[in-house]
């Protein structure tokens, strides 16, 4: 098939459960403030919600779940909140890895981990190592992650590894060096908390994802809210630059081939 220079080539499949769901878990602070609680109470509850959403993804046979836990820009928050988030990340890793493993889930953490303290980095490495062989769901946590950082670090790796092709790199050359090289591109992107922006999440990878925004705050998100997002996804027509008629012709062709093969 001609690629026309774009690395996003998948033939759209309508009416399926998305294979890869990426979520910006936003609204923890507002959830807490509404209840006259400190912002960090929202983050704490956010971890419980993530545990349930992971389970819901397993039940729905979603293969990849990627969540934005801490952005490159979140260091700008008050130091108390940043250190609470780091401690929460550590305790969540300590408590959840065994459960993830029992459930056949593999854990990956992507982002610039060099800025984290050694103890946190060790926990991340141990969690990734323990769960590496699991196949049921890949849970990727983006921590100290930024989409621009990701593109740049991939370019820097390419420049180091393949300097002879400098000036001739193609889109497909970059993909293996992105922090998310272990993932297909997200099919469905969800942002909770009402903001309609990407906030430097996977800006390269989201090029052709279906975007879904909900006002519901992350601590109030649940399996039903996930189902609403999936229902919206199923109503979309993913055209990847083609026309509706082309998609219909390709669906008819697939149906005919399947019927004649049967
Ligand atoms: C998202 O919730 C969690 C992180 C960014 C770590 P927020 O903390 O951004 O909550 P709001 O947006 O202020 O309500
Ligand atoms: C995005 O949320 C990052 C995470 C959820 C981890 P923010 O709350 O930091 O995004 P902005 O500042 O509203 O764009
Ligand atoms: Mg926010």
- Residue ranges covered by each domain of the chain: 20-261
Q: Exposed, middle or buried, 42 (CB in 10 Å: 0-12/13-18/19+)? A: buried
Question: To which H or E segment does residue 104 belong?
Answer: none
User: Over 70: is that where the pLDDT of 143 sits?
Assistant: yes
Active site (annotated) includes residue 156? no
Q: Which protein residue has the closest C-alpha to ligand 1 atom 12?
A: 27
| Ligand 2, atom nearest to 142 Cα | 6
* Res 45 pLDDT > 70: yes
Query: Does 228 or 250 have the greater pLDDT score?
Result: 228
Q: Which helix (H) or strand (E) holds 28?
A: helix 28-34
**Confidence at residue 3, expressed as pLDDT on a 0 to 100 scale:** 38
Q: Identify any residues that bridge with 22 across adjacent strands, giving them in sequence order.
A: 66, 189
Q: What is the pLDDT of residue 227?
A: 98
Tell the residue number behind the tokens 């889109």, with chain if given. Answer: 171
Q: Which residue's entry shows tokens 């401690």?
A: 87
- Tell me what the pLDDT averaged over the chain comes to: 93
Please state, in angstroms and rounded to a whole number, the distance separating the CA atoms of residues 244 and 235: 14
Secondary structure E strands in 161-234:
188-191, 210-213
Q: At a CB cut-off of 8 Å and minimum separation 6, what does 15 contact?
A: 234
CATH classification for the domain delimited by 20-261, as one of 3.30.1330.60, 3.60.21.10, 3.40.1180.10, 3.40.50.170? 3.40.1180.10
Query: Catalytic one among 28, 48, 74, 215?
Result: 74
CA of 71 to the centre of ligand 2 (A): 7
pLDDT score of 93: 96
pLDDT at 253 over 80: yes
Whole-angstrom Cα distance, residue 79 to residue 18? 37
Ligand minimally distant from the alpha carbon of residue 217: 1
| Cα 239 to middle of ligand 1, angstroms | 33
């Amino acid at each position: 098939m001609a690629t026309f220079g774009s690395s996003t080539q998948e033939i759209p499949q309508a009416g399926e459960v998305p294979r890869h769901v990426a979520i910006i878990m936003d609204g923890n602070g507002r959830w807490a403030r509404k209840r006259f609680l400190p912002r960090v109470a929202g983050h704490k509850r956010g971890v419980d919600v993530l545990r349930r959403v992971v389970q819901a993804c397993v039940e729905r046979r979603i293969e990849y779940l990627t969540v934005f836990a801490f952005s490159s820009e979140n260091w700008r928050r008050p130091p108390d909140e940043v250190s609470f988030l780091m401690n929460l990340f550590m305790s969540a890793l300590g408590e959840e890895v065994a459960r993830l493993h029992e459930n056949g889930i593999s854990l990956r953490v992507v982002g610039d981990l060099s800025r984290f303290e050694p103890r946190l980095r060790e926990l991340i490495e141990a969690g990734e190592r323990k769960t590496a062989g699991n196949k049921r769901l890949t849970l990727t946590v983006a921590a100290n992650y930024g989409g621009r950082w990701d593109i740049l670090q991939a370019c820097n790796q390419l420049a180091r590894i393949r300097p002879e092709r400098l000036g001739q790199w193609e889109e497909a050359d970059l993909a293996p060096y992105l922090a998310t090289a272990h993932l297909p591109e997200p099919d469905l992107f969800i942002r909770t908390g009402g903001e309609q922006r990407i906030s430097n999440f996977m800006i390269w990878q989201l090029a052709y994802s279906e975007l879904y925004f909900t006002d519901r705050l992350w601590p109030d998100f649940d399996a039903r809210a996930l189902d609403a997002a999936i229902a919206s996804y199923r109503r979309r027509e993913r055209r990847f630059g083609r026309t509706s008629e082309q998609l219909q012709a390709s669906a008819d062709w697939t149906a005919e081939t399947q019927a004649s093969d049967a």
